[in-house]
Amino acid sequence: MKKSSSTFIFLSFLVATVATLGSLFFSEVMDFIPCTMCWYQRIFMYPLVVILFINLLYPDDKVFKYAMPLVLVGLFFAIYHNLLMFKIIPESVVPCVQGVPCSTEYFNLLGFINIPFLSLVSYSLIFIFLLNVKKGR
């Protein structure tokens, strides 16, 4: 395995870990209740931390295969959720039945940085890093 690709795996790992701990901070420390969409994005983000961590300790050249499907599904939910937050898709089609509506905005920095946006950024970064892992091989 080339050196550059392990750097990109490391960067992906860092982003996934920050995203995981960050989402836990929002829900467990700040007591924001995660909506359904947020849960789906969490489900596909958390295992990335473990998969990438193990790969960094015991490198093989197949990590792209294991990690990319998770990223793609998570990215799909993140894009969908962001379209929702920016009102491109109306709330009525959201599969949120009970609890917190997925268009609830817990905080907003600079007019566009909210939690789903952070999720989208994380998934996009990991997506790009993993493409580089594939290319660098």
Question: Would you count residue 50 as binding another protein (CB under 8 A)?
Answer: no
- Separation between Cα atoms, residue 123 and residue 25, nearest integer Å: 18
Give the total of residues touching another protein (CB under 8 A): 17
Other beta carbons within 10 Å of 1 = 14
Residue 72 or 137 with smaller CB distance to another protein: 137
Please give the C-alpha separations between residue 27 and each of 9, 23, 35, 111, 114, in angstroms, as whole numbers: 27, 6, 10, 22, 14
Crossing angle (nearest 10°) for helices 36-57 and 115-135: 30
Question: Would you count residue 28 as binding another protein (CB under 8 A)?
Answer: yes
Residue 17 or 124 with smaller CB distance to another protein: 17
Which among 23-31, 39-47, 115-123, 127-135 is the span making contact with another protein, rule CB under 8 A? 23-31
Question: Would you count residue 96 as binding another protein (CB under 8 A)?
Answer: no
Token reading at 31? 């007591």
Question: Would you count residue 110 as binding another protein (CB under 8 A)?
Answer: no
Question: Would you count residue 10 as binding another protein (CB under 8 A)?
Answer: yes
Residue 59 or 69 with smaller CB distance to another protein: 59
Tell me how far, at minimum, the Cβ of 122 lies from another protein, in Å.
14
Q: Backbone phi, then psi, for 109, in 5-degree steps?
A: -110, 135
Other beta carbons within 10 Å of 123 = 27
Tell me how far, at minimum, the Cβ of 13 lies from another protein, in Å.
7
